[in-house]
Structure 1
C-alpha cells in the first residue's frame, strides 16, 4: 500500500497502523488492570502514612480535583479517610509491600509495550530486566511522593517557614505558582526515564523526548477534558448508581494507559519517518 506523500499524513497513518498492529488496545487494557490494583494498596500505604504523620488529606483531594474526575477523587478520598482514621504500622507495611508488587507488574507491562513500539525483542537477561523494573518502580514511587509533597506539604511548610523562619512571602507565593509546572517536569522525567530504561542500549535523546512530551501533554489534556465531561455532561452516578465511580475510574485508567503507550509509538513513528527520509530500508 502506498503511503501518503505528506509527512504529517504519513505519520498519522503510521500511528494508526501501529495502534492496530501492536495491539495497543489490548496492552492498554492489561496496563489499566495493573494500575487499578496498584492504586488501592498505594492508597492504603499513603493513608496509613497520613494517619501516622497527621497530614492534610483535604489538601491532597483539592489538588487531585484539578485534573481528575470528581468520582475518582471521591474513591480516593474514601480510602484515605477510612484507612487514615485508624493508622497502624502493620497496615503501613502491608500497603508498602503491595505498593511495590503491583507497580512492578505495571512497569513490566508498559516496558513490553515500549519495546514493541521500538521493534525490540524480549529483554536481554532476566536478572537485568528485574533490576530495571525494580529501579523504575522506586523512581515511580518517589515521583508520586514528590508530587504529593509539592501539592500538599509544600504549602504548610512554606506558611510555617514564613511565620517562624522569616521566609520572604514572595518566595512562598512563587512556590505556590510553580508547584504545578515542577510536578509536570517531575512527571516528564519519570516517563522519559521509563522510555529510556526499556531500551537495550542508549538511545539518542531525540528518539525519546518527543513521545515523552506528547504523552504527558496528552494525558493532562485528556484527564482535564474527561473530568469536565464526567462532571458536567455524562453524570455516570445517575446512570449507574454507586458503580458509576468505578466505571469512571476504569475508563480514565484505560485512557491513561493508551496515552502512555502511544507516546512510545510516536517515537517509533518519528524514527521510521527519519529512515524514510534518508532512504534507509
Structure 2
C-alpha cells in the first residue's frame, strides 16, 4: 500500500513522457481496424456453438456504449446471414492479422515503458503478437460463454442433486468471478510476453488486475453516460456510433497501457533495491 502514491506519481510523469494519449489513439485505430474481422470470426463461430446471436448481443450490450450497438447489430445481421465455413476461415485469417497489429503496437509501447530495445526478429515478434491475439480472442469467447453455460450447468446440478438456493447463488457468483480471473490471467500473459524483457510472471499481475477492474468499471460507467447524457448522434449524425466506439476504444487503450506502465514501474523499483 505504501507504494501506491509513488506509483501514481510515476504514472502521471510517464503519461506525458511516454505519450500515453498519443499511443492510445494509435491503439484505438488498430482496435477499430480489427473489430469487424473479429466479429466475422466470433459470430461465424457462434453458428457452430449452442449459443444464439441474441445471447452474444446481450453480453456485448452490458459493456458497449449504447450508440455503438446499432452499428454492431447491423453488421452482426449481415454476417450471420452470410455464415459458412469458408467465411469462418477468412474471418480467422483476417481477424488474426488485423488484430495482431494492435498487439504489435503494444509490444513497442511496453518496450518503451521498460526502457528496453526490441531484439526479437520480425517473425518472432509477429508470432508472439498472433499468439497473444488468439489468447485475447479466447478470453473474449470465454467471457461470453461462461455466464450462459455456467447458468445452465448450475441449474442442472441444482435440480439433479436437490441442493439449496444458497448453492445456486454461490454458483452464479463464481461463474462471473471465473470470467474475471480468466481476463486477469490473459492480461498478465500480455504484460509478461509483450515487452522484450525477462519479467517474472508474478510481476505482471498488478497491472493485469488494475486493467481488468478499471476496464469493466469504466466501460459500464461510459455506457451509462452515453445512454443517459451523451447524445453524440445529435452532433455527429450517422457517425455518432463510430465516434462513441472510438472513444470507448481510446479509453480502453489508455487503461491497458497504464496497466503495463504500472508493472514497469514496480519492476524497475524492485530491480533498484
Measured against the shorter chain, the TM-score band is 0.7 to 0.9
- Residue in 1 aligned with 2:160? 166
- Residue in 2 aligned with 1:219? 215
Structure 1 stretch displaced more, 78-87 or 47-56: 47-56
Using the TM superposition, give the Cα deviation of residue 186 of structure 1 relative to its aligned residue in structure 2, in angstroms.
0.9
Alignment partner of 1:26 is 2:22: yes
CA spacing shift, 1:76–1:172, aligned 2, 3 Å: farther
Q: Deviations over 1:41-68 (max 9, x none)?
A: 1111222233454631222222222222
Structure 1 stretch displaced more, 109-118 or 137-146: 137-146
Which of 94, 119, 138 pairs up with 1:98? 94
- Residue in 1 aligned with 2:74? 78
**Hey, what's the Cα distance between the residues in 1 that align with 2:97 and 2:162?**
43
**Hey, what's the Cα distance between the residues in 1 that align with 2:65 and 2:231?**
11
> Structure 2, unaligned stretches of length 5 or more?
none
Alignment partner of 1:188 is 2:199: no
Q: Deviations over 1:63-92 (max 9, x none)?
A: 222222122233322222232134222222
SS of structure 1 residue aligned to 2:135: helix
- Residue in 1 aligned with 2:112? 116
Using the TM superposition, give the Cα deviation of residue 274 of structure 1 relative to its aligned residue in structure 2, in angstroms.
4.7
Structure 1 stretch displaced more, 170-179 or 140-149: 170-179
> Structure 1, unaligned stretches of length 5 or more?
1-5
- Residue in 2 aligned with 1:142? 138
Structure 1 stretch displaced more, 232-241 or 35-44: 232-241
Alignment partner of 1:267 is 2:273: no
Using the TM superposition, give the Cα deviation of residue 7 of structure 1 relative to its aligned residue in structure 2, in angstroms.
6.4
RMSD: 2.7
- Residue in 1 aligned with 2:228? 232
**Hey, what's the Cα distance between the residues in 2 that align with 1:203 and 1:32?**
26
- Structure number, greater radius of gyration: 1
- Residue in 1 aligned with 2:45? 49
**Hey, what's the Cα distance between the residues in 1 that align with 2:48 and 2:3?**
56
Give the structure-1-normalised TM-score.
0.84
Using the TM superposition, give the Cα deviation of residue 35 of structure 1 relative to its aligned residue in structure 2, in angstroms.
0.8
SS of structure 2 residue aligned to 1:166: helix
CA spacing shift, 1:175–1:241, aligned 2, 3 Å: farther
Contact 1:69/1:231 (8 A) holds in 2: yes
Contact 2:191/2:204 (8 A) holds in 1: yes
